[in-house]
């Protein structure tokens, strides 16, 4: 066997390992969460509403195959997506599945494309709100967006200009936090637009649109 063929076989063996690591749906959901911000196993289990032992097993597979990195912070282990290519791969798999199924997660009323939302916001005609948890906003968010976590949205609505429309985004097309925010707005007699896709997609395709903030930015 030639040296070049051996290198090819070695590379595709790694591709096969990656494919097997990403063949389980919970692991793709874990990558979606970690694309927002680093997390501990306990937090991931809570967000996925499952047990820590099961999540730990999935995390071990992802770490062993080079998709995640892990570091110890005090008593806890924190997990991070290893590189942007991992996020790109997860998004590509999801979009391919959507295409094959003929599914469109962003369908429905009052949907804006990212380009539409950014143009309107730049012109001062739209308020951008991020309804993910505050730690995710701190890690990465659209420039100019306001942090308004879904858990406290009822109380924070007063901070918005009632005369100017607002648009929300969340983690990905299948996160649905923004759709829940629409329901809260409707209960107050207000309309909320939803921006297509989400932070995972933008990290994969347009990371330059995202910025981070320190603790003082959120005070």
Whether 155 and 84 map to the same domain: the answer is no
Expressed as residue numbers, the domain containing 22 is 3-101
The arithmetic mean of pLDDT across residues 103-112, rounded, is 74
In a domain, 70, yes or no: yes
pLDDT at 214: 61
**Mean pLDDT, residues 143-156 taken together:** 95
Encoded tokens for 128: 């951008």
CA distances from 66 to 22, 124, 204 (A): 12, 43, 18
Predicted pLDDT of residue 108: 66
Q: Which is more confidently placed, 147 or 105?
A: 147
Shared domain check, 120 and 87: no
User: Tens digits of per-residue pLDDT, 160-206?
Assistant: 999 999 999 999 988 889 999 999 999 999 999 999 999 999 999 99
Q: What is the pLDDT of the chain when averaged over all its residues? A: 92
Same domain, yes or no, for 7 and 53? yes
- Please report the pLDDT score of residue 106 as a whole number: 58
> In the prediction, which pLDDT does 105 show?
61
CATH assignment at residue 175: 3.40.250.10
Q: Residue 12 domain-assigned? A: yes
The pLDDT score that the predictor gives to residue 134 is 96
Residues 130 and 162 in one domain: yes
Mean pLDDT of the region 114-138: 97
pLDDT at 103: 72
Q: What's the CA gap between 21 and 27, in Å, rounded?
A: 8
Would the CA dihedral through 44, 184, 155, 160 be positive or negative?
positive
Reading the block at residue 61, the tokens are 């597979």
Inter-residue contact 42 to 55 (CB < 8 Å): no
Asked if residue 106 belongs to a domain, the reply is no
- CATH number for the domain that contains residue 76: 1.10.10.10
What's the pLDDT score for residue 217? Answer: 43
Among 101, 120, 141, the domain-final residue is 101
pLDDT given at position 2: 84
Say whether pLDDT at 215 is over 60.
no
Per-residue pLDDT band at 3 (split at 50, 70, 90) = confident
Q: Is the pLDDT of residue 216 over 50?
A: no
The answer to whether residues 83 and 120 belong to one domain is no
Domain boundary among 101, 125, 158: 101
Do 97 and 116 belong together in one domain?
no
In a domain, 206, yes or no: yes
Q: Rounded distance, CA 100 to CA 119, Å?
A: 31
Do 116 and 208 belong together in one domain? yes
What is the pLDDT, as a whole number, of residue 219?
36
pLDDT band of residue 107 (cuts 50, 70, 90) is low
pLDDT attached to residue 193: 97
Where does the pLDDT of residue 218 fall: very low under 50, low under 70, confident under 90, or very high at 90 and above? very low
pLDDT tens across 37-66, in order? 999 999 999 999 999 999 999 999 999 999
CA distances from 159 to 17, 33, 156 (A): 49, 28, 6
Do residue 50 and residue 130 come from a single domain? no
Same domain, residue pair 124 and 206: yes
Residue 169 near residue 136 (C-beta atoms within 8 A): no
Q: Do 58 and 24 share a structural domain?
A: yes
Into how many domains does the chain fold?
A: 2
């Amino acid at each position: 066997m030639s040296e070049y063929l051996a290198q090819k076989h070695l590379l595709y063996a790694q591709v096969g390992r990656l494919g097997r690591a990403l063949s389980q749906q919970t692991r793709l959901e874990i990558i979606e969460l970690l694309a927002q911000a680093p997390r501990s196993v306990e937090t991931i289990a809570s967000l996925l509403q499952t047990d820590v032992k099961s999540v730990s097993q999935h995390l071990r597979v992802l770490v062993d195959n080079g998709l995640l990195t892990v570091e110890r912070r005090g008593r806890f282990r924190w997990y991070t997506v290893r590189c942007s290519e991992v996020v790109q791969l997860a998004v590509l798999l999801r979009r391919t599945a959507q295409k094959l199924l003929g599914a469109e997660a962003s369908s429905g009323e009052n949907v804006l494309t990212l380009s539409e939302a950014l143009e309107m916001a730049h012109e001062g005609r739209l308020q951008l709100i991020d309804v993910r948890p505050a730690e995710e906003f701190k890690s990465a968010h659209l420039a100019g967006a306001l942090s308004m976590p879904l858990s406290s949205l009822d109380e924070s609505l007063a901070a918005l200009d009632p005369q100017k429309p607002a648009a929300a985004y969340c983690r990905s097309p299948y996160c649905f936090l923004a759709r829940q925010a629409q329901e809260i707005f409707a209960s107050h007699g207000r309309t909320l637009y939803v921006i297509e896709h989400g932070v995972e997609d933008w990290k994969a395709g347009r990371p330059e649109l995202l910025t981070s903030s320190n603790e003082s930015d959120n005070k």
